[in-house]
Amino acid sequence: MYQREDVDGGSAAPITDDGYFLTADHVLERLKSGRHAFVIYHFDDTLVTAKARIVWRSATADVALLHASLKTPYFYQWTPPQHWLPVGTRVIHGGIATGLKPGSGKLTTALSPEYHFTGARKFEIDIPLQPGDSGGPVVDAHGDLVGINSAVEFLVPMDTAFFVDSEGIRPNTRMIADLIKRDRARKSSANLAVE
């Protein structure tokens, strides 16, 4: 059974220096039109809250791309898309629930180089997630972004549940970069039209 208890509140990972964030789509599941998503970003010992616009989302991949009008000088770089990430690769995950005590563990499924896939891929880690961690970063030992937290799996026998694995999502990084490039161009031409 996969649990996704953090609808209406979760985490996001900054992936550029100009306010683009990746999160799990199910975090936005109950977002109705007219409501806004917000991100909280820690910078210069201050928590900054900003309204975020949804740039793109995929319910099937459980990934969403957000943009907030703020500078995000501390952001995650992707693990190289041409590298294999084998089972046993050490990882750390973060999120709102995890806070300053990130969980560390390893990949329990391998991730092949990006040219082997076109869409998003699920992977498993042996670190339990808490409600609020969805959308938070999963990083390797070098601090590079492997993907984002998505769900946690428990086996539920008759009288007790026990943790099996947590699930992460790695989108196609070229597709995400292209979405960001197109969104920046759209915003730039909209700004020129206003001038």
| Identity at 60, one-letter amino acid code | T
Can you read off the two tokens belonging to residue 27?
Answer: 């975090």
Digit-coded pLDDT (tens) for 144-176: 999 999 887 655 555 555 456 789 999 999 999
- Mean pLDDT of the region 17-43: 85
Can you read off the two tokens belonging to residue 188?
Answer: 């730039």
Point out which residues pair with 3 in neighbouring strands: 152
Distance linking the first and last C-alpha atoms of the chain: 53
pLDDT of residue 123: 94
H or E segment at 67? strand 63-68
Looking at the chain, the whole-number percentage of residues with pLDDT higher than 70 is: 81
Can you read off the two tokens belonging to residue 185?
Answer: 């161009």
Residue identified by tokens 């995400």 is 176
- Mean pLDDT of the region 13-41: 87
Cβ contacts of 28-33, under 8 Å, gap ≥ 24: 28/54, 28/57, 28/64, 29/59
Domains 2-76 and 90-173 equal at CATH topology level: yes
Residue 179 has pLDDT above 50, yes or no: yes
Class of domain 2-76: mainly beta
What does pTM read for this prediction?
0.86
Which segment of 4-8, 155-159, 187-191 scores lowest on mean pLDDT?
A: 4-8
Residue 106 buriedness (CB in 10 A; 0-12 / 13-18 / 19+): middle
Residue 102 has pLDDT above 80, yes or no: no
Residue 60 has pLDDT above 70, yes or no: yes
Architecture of domain 90-173: Beta Barrel (2.40)
pLDDT of residue 14: 97
For the chain, the domains span 2-76, 90-173
- Strands 20-23, 63-68: pairing kind: antiparallel
